[in-house]
Structure 1
């Protein structure tokens, strides 16, 4: 981020107008079903006989920067950052809608929860949407004893109708207490429902509004100007502005500073977790959850080849005609704008991908289209007997182990694995051996379909005997009829409150696909 922008955010934050009263038509949010913004510019002085002169120079330096930044504020994002992607330009663009206000303080045993009303931005105009103002509940947990400057941001869902939260989300509360760090959850991402003015569909939520934006982008020809329709952009900015608010509020209210963030989100918010890391260098680690769709084009082809139909979970994209336009140049530009895999070489930060082995949206072997292409530290977990919501699983605890290690700069377990000829080959570190190893497997005699509504909770596990050299070759018997799937889970007891659980990718046998490619019509 350039120094002008860093200074602008501090200066602008000091000049925000008073908050509007949310009771006068602003609305409410958060119902959980199952964050490049504020940096500060600091001028340091030296204690000497020239202190007065140095301080005066510093004052005039700030004044000059202020004037410069006011000029910068009037420029369009494309003029300011011509080298950035449309995603980064959108996030970097100043927006006077940004402001926040404390609405509730909730004392707890060993911590305090603050609930803020946050306005992150305006997306589109009133000519295009009936409610361009994006607002969110921002819940912040501050332990009585805060250690270090790392914080957590959870990107959550919700709607404008949800009342003021009366408790912290479990993932930020557990993480705060386990690590003594400041944690936060920003709700209503995307800000929904969204009602487009020239749209007979009515109010849209979740994939309904994202798919509509994709169609508008494609209908416009996929130019950079058309990227304004892509909801991933404001979703990312909402997360970034939430981090801005956390930093400012905590410094003002608690005199605690958060300088870096781990970001976690699920499903669409999992996609936004990736894009937040792309847009903001304060993000030092990420945990995208149940968004097993990196490298979208081959992943969707694989979806069709396995099922021979589009699963109901992706019906919004089918209805908007997106699937028939995957071979177009405009679709390729769309992917280059919002698809995290496009930016994978920049995403070398620690990452923990948590997926559901029986997801309704994604196939359990989708990892094969992106895993080897990811760079830097990476960890994977497929949660057995879990659908897209991950309800009833220990996914939160698994994340807490990862976050605890990030906060305390503790080594994370690492092992090499690959697949070959239907086998899973694992090579562990002799100095960091797992405490247990499990082979998970399931089968479907009728179809290559492992969605939870199809097979239920039929994943079973069996222990794997330890190998003295730390090398393993595992497989399962090819079924006489239908398909079988398996993966390997390695459990490591570390210094945190709960053990690490990492897995290999899922392997399906036989490897032959039951259906051919999907033939697009455009």
Structure 2
């Protein structure tokens, strides 16, 4: 029994070391997306009409990245005539305070524009905010925050550092939340996505499409 126990430990640590050594530039993002994190969850905080669509305002927890749990406002806009199994995910910025999103209210103009797109296309549109979660690390935001994380990656070769990785996981988590909401609340399948965003979120959209 003792020899079996010691052999099991040796095999266990060999697997761990192999998994760690197996991370390469070409596999690093996939490794991060499938790192076993269990922080994903969402809850509906509000629902209301926006023109000819209904908005569901979700508080999304997308992941834990390093020491930070990422939270987002995810607004899902469902047109009255919802005829397609595809959805648009638009990724944008925003800020957090005390670990929670600074919330956009019911009168948000951008959500109204997205609701018009949902109505015109007869398909769900979702708006993901707080990508990335910021400010972090002494109030760094946007380009400065990305630069900081890349500098740390270059310094210690830790593939979990690049900020684009948790940004992509935010998008992946948002799509999962949209699919679950549509299934549970609307009994409507969402099987595919068009992903969009600008600036840093533009990088996120490309990497999301390439890896999910």
**Fold match (TM-score > 0.5):** yes
- Equivalent residue number for residue 179 of structure 2: 247
Give the structure with the larger helix fraction. 2
Q: CA deviation at 1:100?
A: 0.3
Which residue, 172, 177, 197 being the options, matches 1:265? Answer: 197
Which residue, 160, 179, 183 being the options, matches 2:96? Answer: 160
Residue pairs, 1:160-239, within 5 angstroms: 160-161=96-97, 162-166=102-106, 167=108, 169-195=111-137, 202-220=138-156, 223=157, 226-239=158-171
Structure showing greater relative contact order (alpha-carbon pairs closer than 8 Å, 6 or more residues apart):
2
Indicate whether 1:96 and 2:38 are aligned. Answer: yes
- Equivalent residue number for residue 85 of structure 1: 27
Q: Which has the higher Rg, Structure 1 or Structure 2?
A: 1
- Equivalent residue number for residue 140 of structure 1: 76
Residue pairs, 1:376-391, within 5 angstroms: none
CA distance in 1, matches of 2:140, 2:23: 33
- Equivalent residue number for residue 277 of structure 1: 209
- Equivalent residue number for residue 47 of structure 2: 105
Structure 2 segments unaligned to the other structure (5+ residues): 1-14
Q: CA deviation at 1:245?
A: 0.2
Change (3 A) 1:265 1:171: farther
Q: CA deviation at 1:164?
A: 4.3
Q: CA deviation at 1:170?
A: 4.6
Q: CA deviation at 1:95?
A: 1.5
Q: CA deviation at 1:107?
A: 1.5
CA distance in 1, matches of 2:197, 2:113: 10
Q: CA deviation at 1:271?
A: 0.6
Give the structure with the larger strand fraction. 2
- Find the residue that maps to 2:96 and give its secondary structure: coil
For this pair of structures, how many residues does the alignment match?
189
Residue pairs, 1:109-508, within 5 angstroms: 109-125=51-67, 132-161=68-97, 162-166=102-106, 167=108, 169-195=111-137, 202-220=138-156, 223=157, 226-280=158-212
CA distance in 2, matches of 1:218, 1:233: 15
Residues 51 and 116 in structure 2, CA contact (< 8 A), matched pair in contact too:
no
Change (3 A) 1:90 1:158: same
CA distance in 2, matches of 1:253, 1:259: 16
Q: What TM-score comes out, normalization by structure 2 length?
A: 0.83
- Find the residue that maps to 1:153 and give its secondary structure: strand
Q: What TM-score comes out, normalization by structure 1 length?
A: 0.35
- Find the residue that maps to 2:160 and give its secondary structure: helix
Q: CA deviation at 1:88?
A: 1.3
Change (3 A) 1:278 1:153: same
CA RMSD of aligned residues (A): 2.1
Residues 102 and 116 in structure 1, CA contact (< 8 A), matched pair in contact too:
yes
The one-character-per-residue Cα deviations of 1:101-158 (angstroms, maximum 9, x if unpaired) are 0000012332100000000001112xxxxxx010000000001111121100001100
- Find the residue that maps to 1:228 and give its secondary structure: coil
The one-character-per-residue Cα deviations of 1:163-214 (angstroms, maximum 9, x if unpaired) are 243246255223201100011011000001112xxxxxx2211111100111
CA distance in 2, matches of 1:171, 1:246: 19
